[in-house]
Amino acid sequence: MSTPTIYLDNNATTPVAPEVVEAMLPFLREQFYNPSSSYPEARGPRDAIERARESVARLVGAGAKSEILFTSGATEGNNAALWGALRANPDRRHIVTTQVEHPAVLEVAKELERNGYRVTRLGVDRDGNLDKAALLRALEPETAVVSIMHGNNETGVVFPIGELSRIVKAADPRIVFHTDATQTVGKIPINLAKTLPHVDILTMSGHKLHGPKGVGAMFVRRGVRWRPWQIGGHQERGRRAGTENVAGIVGLGVACDLARTAYADEERLRQLQQWLESSILAQVPNVFINGRGAERLPNTTSFAFEYVEGEAILLAIADAGICASSGSACTSGSLDPSHVLKAMDIPFSAAHGSLRLSTSRYTTGAEIERVIDVLPGIIASLRRISPYWDQATNAPRGDIDVFVQGKYR
C-alpha cells in the first residue's frame, strides 16, 4: 500500500479548495459569455466578476472595490506595479527594492537598469530583517518607487510593511510604495484602509490561497500616480486590458471568502510550526532555522541542516511521501544557494542544506508528526555519507567550530 502524500510545499502552490472548484464550473460551462457583451446573458459573468472584486477588497481591507484589478497573477502584478508607477512619474528614474524579493521583482529591476533606471537593493541581516535607517538613506529626490515584499516565500520572514511604507511616505509622499503580498494574503490579516494606509499598490496571486493558478489581483489605491501596463480593450475600466479570466476570477473571489473565515487557523498553524521546529531542534544537532529571530509567517519553516545537501534531503523525504522544497538554486542549474539565503549571509555549509516546509489549513497534526518521525533519521543517514560532516565533527575548523557550538540556533 502506498503512503498518502504529505504536501508541505504550500508556498509553491496550494491545493484548490473544493468550494472554489464548484464555484468555477458554471463559468466554464453554461456561463461562458464574454462579460463585455451587451446581451442579457453576459450579465451573469459580469456580476460574478464584481462579486469577486468585492471579496478580494474585503480580504485585503481595501477602502473601495474599484481599487482592485484582476491580473494573471503576481508576476504580472509586480511588472505592472513597477512599470506602471515609473511611466506615471517619468521625471524620476530611481527605484528602491530589497535583495530578497521574488524574481518577479528582481528581474524587473534588472530590466529597468538595462533601460537606464537606477536601482538600490537593500540588504538584510542574518535573521532576514531590513534596516529601516538604510531604507531612509536609500531614498533620493529621483526615487519613483519603493518595492518591498510583505512575506518572504523562502523563509517566511514578514517585513513590517506598515512602518516601512510610513517612513517612505513621510520622507516623500510622491514615492509610490508597492508590496508583493503574494505570500501573506490569506495567511495573516491585511487591512489596507486601516493598518496599511501608506501602501499604494499591493499584488497577489490566487494559487497561494487555495484559488486557481493564472489569476491574481492588484490593489491600486485611489489617486496613486500609476499608469496601466497591459493596454488594449476597455476591460477593468481600461486599467488592465484583455478578456477577463471569468472562472479564475470567480475562483479567486471564493478563495478570498474562505481565507477570511480561516484566519482562526493562524493560531493552529503557529502551534504546528512551533511543534515542528522545537522537535527538530531537539532531535537533530547542527540545524538552525533561517529567519528565526524575525517575525515570520505561521506556515513557513526554513531549516538549515549543516553539512548535508538540500537536494538529497528532498529526494529522501520524497521517498517518505513528503513534498517540500529546498533553499538552493540547484534546479536552475547553479550550485549557488538561493539569493535569499545569500543575502542573509547564511554560511555556505548550511545554506546548501536548507529545507522549506510550508503548511496550509489542510495540513494536519498527524502529517507534522510524520515529518518529526522521519526527518531526524534522514538527516543522520545523509550525514553518515557526508565528507563535510566528517570534517566538521572530526576536525573542527574556525567557522565550523562556531556552528558545532550551536551559535546560530
Catalytic residues: 330
Closest CA to 239 of 114, 77, 356: 77
Number of residues that bind ligand PMP (CB under 6 A): 12
**Sign of the alpha-carbon torsion through 192, 196, 198, 203:** negative
Nearer to ligand PMP, 183 or 359 (CB): 183
Applying CB under 6 A, which of residues 56, 57, 82, 104 lies at the interface with ligand PMP? 104
Residue type present at position 149: M
361 lines the binding site for ligand PMP (CB under 6 A): no
Give the count of beta carbons closer than 10 Å to the beta carbon of residue 333. 6
- Interacting positions 121-150 with ligand PMP (CB under 6 A): 149
Residues 160-199: x where in contact with ligand PMP by CB under 6 A, - otherwise, as a string: --------------------x-xx----------------
Residues 6+ apart with CB under 8 A from 346: 126, 290, 304, 337, 354
Applying CB under 6 A, which of residues 10, 97, 147, 153 lies at the interface with ligand PMP? 153
9 lines the binding site for ligand PMP (CB under 6 A): no
User: Residue 354 CB, nearest distance to ligand PMP (Å)?
Assistant: 16
Nearer to ligand PMP, 85 or 284 (CB): 85
Residue 190 Rama label (left phi>0; alpha psi -120 to 50; beta): beta
291 lines the binding site for ligand PMP (CB under 6 A): no
In the sheet that holds 118-122, the strands lie side by side as 68-71, 216-220, 201-205, 176-180, 143-147, 94-98, 118-122
Applying CB under 6 A, which of residues 205, 235, 302, 349 lies at the interface with ligand PMP? 205
Q: Tell me which DSSP letter residue 299 carries.
A: T
Nearer to ligand PMP, 154 or 309 (CB): 154
Pair type for strands 216-220 and 68-71? antiparallel
User: Residue 378 CB, nearest distance to ligand PMP (Å)?
Assistant: 26
Q: Which helix (H) or strand (E) holds 6?
A: strand 6-7
- Interacting positions 207-226 with ligand PMP (CB under 6 A): 207
Applying CB under 6 A, which of residues 6, 74, 246, 297 lies at the interface with ligand PMP? 74
Structural contact between residues 321 and 4, judged by C-beta atoms closer than 8 angstroms: yes
120 lines the binding site for ligand PMP (CB under 6 A): no
- Give me the residues that bind ligand PMP (CB under 6 A), please: 73-75, 102, 104, 149, 153, 180, 182-183, 205, 207
